[in-house]
Amino acid sequence: MPTINQLVRYGRSRKQWKTKSPALQSCPQRRGVCTRVYTTTPKKPNSALRKVCRVRLTNGYEVTSYIPGIGHNLQEHSIVLIRGGRVKDLPGVRYHTIRGTLDAQGVANRKQSRSKYGAKRGTGAQQAAQAAPATQAAPTAAAPQKK
C-alpha cells in the first residue's frame, strides 16, 4: 500500500485498456480478401464443422473470421467486410464476416433476424401477394384515378 507521500509524488496509474479486436484499428469494420475458406471443429463440449475464412485485410493484417448462417458462397479471392465479435468455442476467431455486403451473399430463406444475416424481405412480400385472391385485386386496378 502506498504512503501519502508516494501518492502525492506519483499518483495512481490507470489500468491499461486492451482492445479485443486489434486488427480493426478502432474502425467499426474492415475490408479484406479471403485467402482460405475452410471448416474447423469447436472446443471440447461442442461438436460441429464451423465455417471460417482467413482474411487478408487492407491494413496488412491477416485474421480468421467466422462466416455466420447456413450456407455461404465465399471462396478464395472473395472480397468481404469483417466486424469484431469473437466465437466462444473457436479459439483464435475474433472477427465475424458481414453477410449481404460485397461478395458475401445473405442467407437464403431467412425469416427472422434477417438484418444480422443480410437476408432481403422479398420472400415475405411474395407470400403476402400470393395469399390475396386475384378477384379482389381486379376492381382496385379498374377504379378511376383522381387528378
Mean pLDDT of 78-99: 95
Q: Give residue 1's Cα distance to chain centre.
A: 46
* Cβ atoms within 10 Å, residue 83: 15
- What's the rounded Cα separation, in Å, for the pair 78 and 101? 11
Whether the predicted pLDDT of 146 surpasses 90: no
Residue pLDDT, tens place only, 21-52: 999 999 999 999 999 999 999 999 999 999 99
Residue pLDDT, tens place only, 89-131: 999 999 999 999 999 999 999 999 999 999 999 855 455 445 5
End-to-end CA distance of the chain: 84
